[in-house]
DNA sequence: TACATTTGTAACTGGTTGGTCACATTTTTT
DNA sequence: AAAAAATGTGACCAACCAGTTACAAATGTA
């Protein structure tokens, strides 16, 4: 057979991304990655230093959130800016499966292996939604609603509904977007 | 040794509850439960029909949310009622580890075994927070914020922070409560 | 007392996990 | 060409998993 380390490393990394996207945190094990990549698992240890090293590589490369980098240029301040960030952010969140699975991961564990990955993800999330540390009711309400958006997005993978709300309908997400927008507006008016 | 089926069944059930509360969904396996109960795992199959049956028993007995039953008497309508439900609900949610782990579970899977359990849990959550199916901005905003509260509660088990917000401080949760309250107020005023 | 039923345990099956090892083959260097 | 280094594979290990089986001991009943 042909031998090509660079290509093999790429196959392993792509297999990891693919599995994380499809199966979530539970799906990324050494055996599963090796099988998906069609390669001996020994090479994962040799080239990346196991799953731990693979995660570190992932965190440093940081090519989740790729499609969002255009946003975090300006520093938000005005109300319409905040509304814009919110709308763009929620849309992206719903479409980016990889990010969703990392966020799901944070609800399951946080050990030495995942530490760096989560740290970087969080800073990116903060930028996307323009979340600052102002101690205002609006900011707290905003964070709560972003958290809710994340929650419902993750929930929708396995559950059709939250109580009576149908998470599969586009209308539901439009309603959430509008409620978020209106809340910002109301807080700003008073 | 002494033989006592009723006592053994209780030991198994308590072991299950204990493991779910401490270790979460990942912690409740047949072997772990049997070990925790100090009993042969065969008995779990014989008395409950395995994990599936144990979950069914749990769902039917429904003694999570025990401490909340006093709430869901009245049907919410007024603004102050909604605020009251929100405040009591969030407080209870933060204190009830068992409920938290079931909610976490819903983010991981939803199969034939867990179906009934989740169904019952959701109806209880709906009652606690007096969530109805009115198609208003306030209702959507409210649901989003309750979702956020659930998210941050689950997140706080493994993560100290959400972006810059310290989830370990009581003050943070007070801020969330106040923001929730104020949002209801603002929506009602306009 | 003798037999049947219930309660309980321990061992075993077949499968999966993460991790390591010895070996073969290809590529590079001398 | 010969030696050395890099690349890749499959087997192996110990630990775990769910589930089943065979058997022992206690309890109930005839």
Residues of chain A with Cβ-Cβ distance to B109 below 8 Å are: 158
* Calpha distance A100→A111 (Å, rounded): 19
| Residue A135: C-alpha distances to residues B83, B174, B176 (Å) | 21, 12, 11
Chain A, nearest residue to B115 by Cα: A159
Please choose, from the candidates A75, A90, A80, A76, the residue with its C-alpha nearest in 3D space to the C-alpha of residue A188: A80
**pLDDT above 90 (res A158):** yes
Residue B157 to chain A, least CA–CA distance (Å)? 8
Statement: residue B72 has pLDDT above 60: no
| Predicted confidence (pLDDT) per residue in B84-121, tens digit | 888 989 999 999 999 999 999 999 999 999 999 999 99
Q: Could you tell me which residue, B169 or B124, shows the higher pLDDT? A: B169
Average pLDDT over all residues of chain A: 92
Is any atom of nucleic acid chain C found less than 7 Å from the CB of residue A23? no
Q: What is the pLDDT of residue B75?
A: 54
pLDDT confidence tier of residue A150, bands split at 50, 70 and 90: very high
First to last CA, chain B: 71
Q: Å from A7 to nearest chain B CA?
A: 33
- Residue A19 (CA) to nucleotide C8 (C1'), in angstroms, measures 43
Contacts of residues B30-39 at CB distance under 8 Å and 24 or more positions apart, as own/partner, are B37/B8, B37/B11, B37/B12, B38/B11, B39/B8, B39/B11, B39/B12
Q: B30 and B44 in contact (C-beta within 8 Å)?
A: yes
B189 touches strand C (CB under 7 A): no
Q: Taking 90 as the threshold, does the pLDDT of residue A73 lie above it?
A: no
The pLDDT value recorded for residue B85 is 85
Average pLDDT (A148-175) is 97
Q: Residues 43-62 of chain B: which lie with beta carbon within 7 Å of strand C? A: 43
Assign A127 a pLDDT band (cuts: 50, 70, 90).
confident
Question: Does residue B77 have a pLDDT over 70?
Answer: no
- Tell me what pLDDT residue B66 has: 63
Residues of A in contact with B165 (CB under 8 A): 133, 143
Q: Find the residue in B nearest to A173 (Cα).
A: B140
Nearest nt by C1' to B11 Cα:
C8
Nucleotides of chain C within 7 Å of a protein C-beta?
6-11, 16-22, 25-27
Instruction: Output A35-42 pairs: Cβ under 8 A, ≥24 positions apart.
Output: A37/A8, A37/A11, A37/A12, A38/A11, A39/A8, A39/A11, A39/A12
D24 C1' to B29 CA distance, Å: 27
Name the more confident of A163 and A64: A163
B16 and B94 in contact (C-beta within 8 Å)? Answer: no
Q: What is the pLDDT of residue B8?
A: 98
Q: What is the DSSP letter of B67?
A: G
pLDDT at A72 over 70: no
- In this prediction, residue A85 carries a pLDDT of 84
Mean pLDDT lowest for which of A51-65, A162-176, B45-59, B134-148?
Answer: A51-65
B24-38 tens-digit pLDDT: 999 999 999 999 999
Residue A122 neighbours by CB under 8 Å, 6+ apart: B161, B162, B163
**Close Cβ partners of A101 (under 8 Å, ≥ 6 residues apart):** A20, A21, A24, A25
Q: For residue A176, what pLDDT is reported? A: 98
- Per-residue DSSP letter, A136: S
pLDDT at B74 over 90: no
Q: Can you give the pLDDT at residue B78?
A: 73
The C-alpha of A30 sits at a distance from chain B's nearest C-alpha, in angstroms, of 19
Tokens representing B54?
């144990």
Please tell me whether residue B97 adopts helix, strand or coil conformation: helix
Phi, psi of B52 (to 5 degrees): -55, -50
* Chain A closest-CA separation from residue B35 CA (Å): 23
Q: What is the pLDDT of residues B10-24, one digit of tens each?
A: 999 999 999 999 999
Average the pLDDT over A58-72 and give the result: 71
Task: Give the side-chain half-sphere CA count within 13 A for A113.
Answer: 14
Size of interface A-B (CB pairs under 8 A): 153
Label residue A67 by pLDDT band (50, 70, 90): low
Answer yes or no: do A158 and B186 touch at CB < 8 A.
no
Q: Residue B138: list chain A partners with CB under 8 A.
A: 179
Interface contact A179-B104, CB threshold 8 A: no
Which residue has 């978020």 as its token pair?
A180
pTM: 0.95
Q: Is the dihedral of CA B124, B125, B130, B133 positive or negative?
A: negative
User: Sorting pLDDT into bands at 50, 70 and 90, what band is A64?
Assistant: confident
Sort out which chain A residues have CB atoms less than 8 A from B93's CB and list them: none
> Which segments of A132-187 are extended strands (E)?
161-162, 165-166
Q: Which residue has the tokens 């790429």?
A: A10
Distance CA A60, CA B146 (A): 34
Locus of tokens 């080239």? A47
The proportion of chain A whose per-residue pLDDT surpasses 70, expressed as a percent, equals 94
- Residue A133's pLDDT band (cuts 50, 70, 90): confident
Note the Cα A137 to chain centre separation in Å: 26
Give residue B84's pLDDT: 87
- The phi, psi pair for A106, rounded to 5°, reads -65, -20
Partners of A147 on chain B (C-beta within 8 Å) are 147-149, 151-152, 155, 162
The predicted structure's pLDDT at residue B70: 53
Å from the B56 CA to the C7 C1': 23
Tell me what pLDDT residue A136 has.
Answer: 95
Res B6 pLDDT > 80: yes
* The pLDDT of residue A25: 98
Q: Which of B126, B140, B158 sits opposite A106 (nearest CB)?
A: B158
- The pLDDT of A140-151, averaged and rounded, is 98
Nucleotides of D under 7 A from a protein CB: 6-11, 16-22, 25-27
């Amino acid at each position: 057979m042909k031998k090509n380390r660079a290509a093999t490393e790429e196959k392993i990394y792509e297999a990891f991304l693919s599995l994380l996207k499809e199966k979530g945190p539970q799906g990324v094990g050494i055996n599963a990655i090796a099988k998906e990549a069609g390669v001996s698992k020994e090479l994962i240890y040799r080239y990346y230093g196991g799953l731990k090293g693979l995660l570190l590589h992932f965190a440093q490369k940081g090519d989740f959130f790729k499609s969002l980098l255009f946003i975090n240029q300006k520093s938000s301040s005005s109300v319409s800016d905040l509304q814009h960030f919110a709308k763009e952010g929620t849309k992206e969140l719903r479409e980016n499966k990889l990010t969703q699975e990392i966020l799901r991961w944070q609800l399951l564990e946080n050990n030495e292996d995942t530490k760096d990955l989560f740290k970087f993800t969080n800073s990116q999330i903060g930028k996307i939604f323009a979340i600052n540390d102002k101690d205002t009711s609006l900011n707290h309400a905003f964070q709560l609603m972003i958290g809710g958006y994340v929650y419902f997005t993750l929930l929708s993978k396995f559950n059709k509904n939250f109580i009576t709300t149908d998470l599969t309908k586009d209308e539901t997400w439009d309603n959430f977007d509008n409620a978020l927008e209106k809340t910002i507006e109301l807080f700003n008016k008073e």
